[in-house]
Amino acid sequence: MKEILDLSLFHTKKMYNRSRGNMKMKKILLLLLLLFFPVLFTGTVYSNGDGNQVIYYIPHQDDEVLTFGVSIYSYLQQGYDVHVVLLTDGSNSGIRKQLGMTKEAFVTARNQEFDKALAVLGVKSENITKRAYTDGQLTEEQVEAVIKEYNKKYPMAIHKTFSYYDPHPDHAAAGNALRNLVQQEILTDAAYYIGPNYTPTNVDILKDSYDSSYYPFIKAASQSYNVENEIIGMYGIGWKSVPKQFEFLESDPMSRYHE
């Protein structure tokens, strides 16, 4: 594909140089660029039509990589319009006291890791929102309100968050909120993801599609949480907080879920 693209662009440039003042040739060049350049970045032409959105409701910074990384990257490769909603501020991680950071500085640093990781995966910055609910106190009602907002905007979207079986209360609140709306028939397309910290035994566990070509991007996103450079406000918070979960991800990069 790359060779075809390079050859096409070479001939297009040659034609353009011969007909610099020819408006028709300029239109042809523009058309070819629009046709070929999306393939360079994603392999798929994106669309924002109804039914093409996938929305991830993420309780904390680092969850998007540890649990949903492969899923996010896979859906992007398939051409979906991926949105990521960070639900809490992530301020109550135990590592904050060890680092001696203020709440404000800690949240800023965690958000920087979060944004960097999603940029590596290819999520558009305008598709990322942060709700900043209090870490450790997330409620089902808060998450339901957020999901309803997105369901109103994208009524045919796919919705994804943690399993309601997850032992972390924020994770479980997100899962219960999504399940509540499914049970109320407000939305239908939902999946509940299983983090690396536990494995439920009472559900059928499924996996998002994975290809070995994904691995460099998953690892780079993981390592976004392992950068230590105080000059740019990076403290490697993710890896300091849950190193074994990041190690597990890099050794077994899969996104697991149940329906």
Q: What is the CATH number of the domain that holds 226?
A: 3.40.50.10320
What pLDDT is stored for residue 197 in this prediction? 87
Alpha helices (H) along the chain: 2-18, 23-41, 63-66, 69-77, 95-99, 103-121, 140-153, 169-183, 215-223, 237-241, 243-251
Q: Locate 123 and state its tokens.
A: 């999520």
Whether residues 32 and 81 share a domain: the answer is: no
Residue 8 lies in a domain: yes
What pLDDT is stored for residue 34 in this prediction? 33
256-258 β-sheet, strand order: 128-133, 81-88, 53-58, 158-162, 190-194, 256-258, 206-207
What band does 50 get if pLDDT is binned at 50, 70 and 90?
Answer: low
pLDDT digits (tens, 9 = 90+) for 98-151: 999 999 999 999 999 999 999 999 999 999 999 999 999 999 999 999 999 999
Whether residues 145 and 35 share a domain: the answer is: no
CA dist., res. 53 & res. 155, Å (int) = 9
- The answer to whether 186 and 152 are in contact (CB under 8 A) is no
What band does 211 get if pLDDT is binned at 50, 70 and 90?
Answer: very high
Residue 123 lies in a domain: yes
Residue 47 lies in a domain: no
What pLDDT is stored for residue 33 in this prediction? 35
What pLDDT is stored for residue 1 in this prediction? 42
Backbone angles phi, psi at 93, to 5 degrees: -65, 140
Q: Is the pLDDT of residue 27 over 50?
A: no
CA dist., res. 249 & res. 254, Å (int) = 7
Percent of the chain with pLDDT over 90: 80
What pLDDT is stored for residue 205 in this prediction? 97
Q: In sequence order, which residues have a C-beta less than 8 Å from that of residue 80 and are 6 or more positions away?
A: 52, 53, 54, 158
Residue 46 lies in a domain: no
Residue 14 lies in a domain: yes
Residue 222 lies in a domain: yes
Whether residues 128 and 236 share a domain: the answer is: yes
Radius of gyration of the chain (CA): 21
- As a whole number, mean pLDDT of residues 182-187 equals 97
Whether residues 30 and 58 share a domain: the answer is: no
Residue 60 lies in a domain: yes
Q: Is the pLDDT of residue 4 over 50?
A: no
Whether residues 168 and 94 share a domain: the answer is: yes
What band does 21 get if pLDDT is binned at 50, 70 and 90?
Answer: very low
Whether residues 106 and 175 share a domain: the answer is: yes
**In the chain, how many domains are there?**
2
Whether residues 177 and 221 share a domain: the answer is: yes
Whether residues 91 and 182 share a domain: the answer is: yes
Q: Is the pLDDT of residue 32 over 70?
A: no
Which range marks the domain in which residue 103 is found? 53-258
Backbone angles phi, psi at 13, to 5 degrees: -65, -40
Whether residues 37 and 62 share a domain: the answer is: no
CA dist., res. 128 & res. 53, Å (int) = 13
Whether residues 206 and 94 share a domain: the answer is: yes
Whether residues 81 and 35 share a domain: the answer is: no
Percent of the chain with pLDDT over 70: 80
Residue 48 lies in a domain: no
Whether residues 232 and 105 share a domain: the answer is: yes
Q: Is the pLDDT of residue 248 over 90?
A: yes
pLDDT digits (tens, 9 = 90+) for 218-241: 999 999 999 999 999 999 999 999
Q: Is the pLDDT of residue 20 over 60?
A: no
